[in-house]
Amino acid sequence: MEPLHGAPFLCEAVLRALPGLGLASFTTLPNRATRTRAMVADGNDDLVLVLSSYGSTVMSAHSRESVLGCGDATLMSSTEPSVTHIYTPAKFHCLALPLAKLAPLVSDLDAALAAVIPGDVEAVRLLSRYVESLGDDIALSSPELRRFAVSHVYDLAALALGATRDAAAVSQERGVRAARLEAIKSDIAAHASKAFFSIDEVALRHGVSPRYVRRLFEGTGATFTEFALEQRLLQAYRMLTDPRYDQHLIGSIAFEVGFGDLSYFNRAFRQKFAATPSDVRALSRGRE
């Protein structure tokens, strides 16, 4: 990697190794990255699915040129030399998927190489959001969760690239379901404090029915309503222990996180944290 036009070089990367999956997330200033013929001799045959979050990127490989805009994706092979020009500040994720594991899931792998997959393709959107969610260490906190995460990534990658009929059936039920659930949970966490927050609003944003959202939560140990309540309570807890909110009345905090009934807030808070809001605030102040 080298800077373009003599500009300062700055690239921040987070690398993860999971069972059967390499994940690299980059935030970078403009640069030129080259995989040379000498590097190709390392014998690595991984396929690399590149997901662009933002920025302008041009990738040249396989006698093709792929121009990626925000949200777009493309597939590269580690067995081929490549040159990547990143012309603007950019963020992207690279998923290293062993050829032997991905190839059986994709109907026409040759056609997929270096082809641009638009960011408005649902599988690409879901995959990008799901990979972003893996930035939270909680999502990868046990071997079982890591295996689930890897299988979901393969499901979504196959759908984005053109899955075989059998793989598509499995991927729709497993990978898409998991990715949609993660996206909806993130949506709830971001919007649950709104006074008129509802399942209908969430379903509309994600292009699904309220019934489908309820079905996604089946087997998670919490209903949609219970998860939304938990997010409101967690937000209230964070505010009560944050010195910036010391002058806020507890009632004001309750209303700010979406509760319309102070008595209900107090009961729900005590049930969740085995302490009253006043107790939590007092304990937090005592530790300062």
Tell me the pLDDT of the chain averaged across its residues. 88
CA 128, CA 70: separation in Å to the nearest integer?
A: 11
Query: pLDDT value at position 139?
Result: 57
Query: pLDDT value at position 97?
Result: 95
**Half-sphere exposure (Cβ direction) of 205: Cα atoms closer than 13 Å:** 14
Query: pLDDT value at position 64?
Result: 84
User: Which stretches of the chain score pLDDT less than 50?
Assistant: none
How far CA 88 is from CA of 24, 32, 128, in Å, comes to: 19, 11, 20
Query: pLDDT value at position 170?
Result: 72
Query: pLDDT value at position 100?
Result: 93
Domains of the chain: 2-188 (2.60.120.10), 192-288 (1.10.10.60)
Helix (H, G, I), strand (E, B) or coil at 178: helix
CA 200, CA 208: separation in Å to the nearest integer?
A: 9
Query: pLDDT value at position 138?
Result: 52
Q: How many C-beta atoms surround the C-beta of residue 275 within 10 A?
A: 14
Model confidence pLDDT, tens digit, residues 168-219: 777 777 778 888 888 898 889 888 888 788 999 999 988 889 998 998 898 7
Nearest Cα residue to 64 out of 88, 51, 80: 80
Query: pLDDT value at position 180?
Result: 85
Model confidence pLDDT, tens digit, residues 269-286: 999 999 999 999 988 877
